[in-house]
Amino acid sequence: MRWPRALGNSPLAALFLAVAALPGAAAETAFVTNQSSSDLSVIDLATLKEVARLPVPGNPAGLAVADRLGAVYVVSPETKTVSRFSFGDNRPTGTLQLDGGPIGIAVDEARGRIFVSDWFNARAWVIDAATLSVTGTLVTGSAPAGLAVSPDGRFLVTADRDSDRLSVFDAETLAPLRRIATGARPFGVSFSPDGRVFSADVGSNSVTVADPATGAVLGHVETGERPYDIAFAKGRGFVTNQYADSVTVFDAGTLAPVALIEVGEYPEGIDASADGARIYVANWFSNTLSVIDTGTLAVTGEAATGDGPRAFGQFIAATGGVTCATC
């Protein structure tokens, strides 16, 4: 069944095709966690067709694609597990049983680590990506949800929903660095290409923008009702608005509003193509994946998914991922 909205605010790999999604652009694959049907849709983005439906028990929600590791990692909150699958052959390569309330996940590919947030115990697990063993825990604020690693690999940030803050850690040493106040109930968190950090504040219908190096809050962006997560492309930010069935678009530099795009019902997960030409949105109640052209800001296509797609995290994989030799 679907989780209640309050908590929402509160095996894998691609059949990679050689066909280009657009002239001159590499084909990519979307991995979409379907919470209600407990499976994963593997969608060829060149054709917008589902090429595999892989069972993932436990109402999967969070996921992270790791192109350099040749793997996809999925979090199933109901069974408290992290599952790993390899690229190219849909082969399950390991699971990790956790306790508490695992929900969000991020990958530090350079250091071979993954991070998983524990909604119920104000912490994040540090996990070896190859062995799927827990190597440590980090203390966060209450109800951590989204996590993100900065583009330069310096910072790990968690969105601590019930503490109205972000927790910033040194991604190398894992030392806690600072806390940053946000709007009400931050859920998703993302870095812009220039290293600023953005949180989707579901309780205040806003995005908070901050400098992770200093902790300074640099501004806020108004969104639609119940913003969930954020992606960046072509110098703009794109925010899914759960209750408004839309995506807010803003200028990533000036923070000025640009557009409001209607998508499917109850949009949640959002990610960008590698070339920034497209934004993909998982619509939880519509069972679809919407495609937005970042040049025209128009919805140009739609793919069917399983029941209850959430795709909370990085879910777009580039063609050419190699199977992890140590997984």
Establish if 290 belongs to a structural domain: yes
Residue 323: pLDDT band by 50, 70, 90 thresholds? very low
What percent of the chain is predicted at pLDDT more than 70? 89
- The 8-class DSSP code of residue 193 comes to T
Look at residue 324 in the predicted model and tell me its pLDDT.
Answer: 36
The CA–CA distances, whole Å, from 145 to 108, 141, 176, 221, 229 equal 17, 10, 17, 20, 11
Look at 39-48, 77-86, 89-98 and tell me which has the smallest mean pLDDT. 89-98
Look at residue 321 in the predicted model and tell me its pLDDT.
Answer: 34
Per the structure, how many domains does the chain have?
1
pLDDT digits (tens, 9 = 90+) for 123-169: 999 999 999 999 999 999 999 999 999 999 999 999 999 999 999 99
| Strand ranges of the sheet holding 278-283, from the earlier edge strand across to the other edge | 267-272, 278-283, 288-293, 298-304
User: For the domain that residue 153 is a member of, what is the CATH number?
Assistant: 2.130.10.10
Establish if 117 belongs to a structural domain: yes
Domain ranges, residue 202: 5-318
Establish if 323 belongs to a structural domain: no
Residue 17: pLDDT band by 50, 70, 90 thresholds? very low
pLDDT, mean of residues 190-204 = 98
What is the C-alpha to C-alpha distance for residues 126 and 133, in angstroms, rounded to an integer?
A: 9
What is the C-alpha to C-alpha distance for residues 268 and 172, in angstroms, rounded to an integer?
A: 30
pLDDT, mean of residues 201-224 = 98
- The 8-class DSSP code of residue 4 comes to P
What percent of the chain is predicted at pLDDT more than 90? 86
Residue 91: pLDDT band by 50, 70, 90 thresholds? confident
Q: Which of 248, 192, 284, 316 is nearest to 1 (CA)?
A: 284
Taking 90 as the threshold, does the pLDDT of residue 46 lie above it?
Answer: yes
pLDDT, mean of residues 33-57 = 95
Query: Does pTM top 0.85 for this prediction?
Result: yes
Establish if 325 belongs to a structural domain: no
Look at residue 86 in the predicted model and tell me its pLDDT.
Answer: 85
Look at 8-12, 83-87, 111-115 and tell me which has the smallest mean pLDDT. 8-12
* Mean pLDDT (the chain, rounded): 90
Establish if 171 belongs to a structural domain: yes
Pick 209 or 7 by higher pLDDT. 209
Taking 60 as the threshold, does the pLDDT of residue 245 lie above it?
Answer: yes
Pick 313 or 86 by higher pLDDT. 313
Look at residue 3 in the predicted model and tell me its pLDDT.
Answer: 38
Look at residue 88 in the predicted model and tell me its pLDDT.
Answer: 75
Pick 75 or 15 by higher pLDDT. 75
Taking 80 as the threshold, does the pLDDT of residue 81 lie above it?
Answer: yes
The CA–CA distances, whole Å, from 10 to 147, 186, 188, 203, 236 equal 14, 9, 11, 10, 26
Establish if 327 belongs to a structural domain: no
Look at residue 27 in the predicted model and tell me its pLDDT.
Answer: 78
Establish if 106 belongs to a structural domain: yes
Look at residue 26 in the predicted model and tell me its pLDDT.
Answer: 55
pLDDT digits (tens, 9 = 90+) for 269-320: 999 999 999 999 999 999 999 999 999 999 999 999 999 999 999 999 985 3
The CA–CA distances, whole Å, from 107 to 52, 56, 87, 327 equal 24, 19, 16, 15
Amino acid symbol at 117 = S
Establish if 240 belongs to a structural domain: yes
For Cα atoms 188, 191, 194, give the angle at the middle one, nearest 5 degrees.
160
